[in-house]
Amino acid sequence: MLVVSEEVREALAAHRPVVALESTIIAHGLPRPRNLQVALELEEAVRQEGAVPATIAVLDGQPHVGLDKEQLERVANENGIRKLGHRDLPLAVATGASGATTVSATALLAARAGVRVFATGGLGGVHREWTVTQDESADLGLLARTRITVVCAGVKSILDVPATLQRLETLGVAVAGYATVRFPGFYLSDSGHPVDWTLQSPAEVAAVMRAQDTLDGPESALIVANPVREAEQLDPELHARVLADALQACEAEGVTGQAVTPFLLDYLVRHTDGASLSANLAAVRGNVRLAGRIAAAWAGA
């Protein structure tokens, strides 16, 4: 049922580096035609680091690990492409649906295909007002039982960051800052919270991955929190002001449940004149390049 592209399959068989990439940024995160341009750019960034890109999506009910240009174009341009978390995969497969994969679905399919390194923007997490809404991203539970290394810029800053870090600890998911002692905040280099562990090189990350396998503990993920460069981050004062306004607007308009995250992200883009989107893309590019280097270190281990 899992369709692995010939390029990815050959790379895995030869123990060459492979990096998984999600497809929601293509289908739902960016306007056309910029979405396809970014998708191709990210794949090229992986190649420049000596690794093979494996963008993941479901097309006509078939999960694909590694897309060709025509398939990327389809994800970018076809109307009706669904947004699929890991819980949606059986439904999409059984009904022949097409969809872009979120962090949880991408991580699951990548791990099933044997891809160990995955690059994304920011993780989902515990939502603000959790005590009222009980709203928590499915990313966290899936990563608690999936052996994959996720390179990300922390969790989305619209979420409850300290609660998310606590939840990751409770779930037993390892978190390390990459060349930083501070947990990044997606658009921001520093969320205001520390990390317990810092890794300084792709080789160190690969060593932790080997140790995970040697210890043979629970099949949980390794989160490598890679901050966006300070020069490319969203201005922290602008971020704080616009996010406060966005939260007020969300409450005033009665936005709840799954609609909250896209509402807040869209509000940030519109009220920062696109600066939040620029910071988002800068973070993703940095994560993709680092993931390529980590995959190369892992393949050479």
- For 33, other C-beta atoms within 10 Å of its C-beta total 11
Please report the DSSP string for 259-286 in residue order: GHHHHHHHHHHHHTTTHHHHHHHHHHHH
As to burial, measured by CB atoms within 10 angstroms (0-12 exposed, 13-18 middle, 19+ buried), residue 129 is: middle
CA atoms within 13 A on the CB side of 143: 30
Is 22 tagged catalytic?
yes
Amino acid at 46: V
From the list 43, 49, 136, 156, the catalytic residue is 156
Is 156 tagged catalytic?
yes
From the list 22, 43, 49, 136, the catalytic residue is 22
User: Angle 167-183-262 (CA atoms, 0-180°, nearest 5)?
Assistant: 70
User: Terminus-to-terminus CA distance in the chain, angstroms?
Assistant: 30
The CA–CA distances, whole Å, from 274 to 85, 109, 110, 164, 262 equal: 27, 32, 31, 26, 15
Question: Among all residues, which ones are annotated catalytic?
Answer: 22, 156
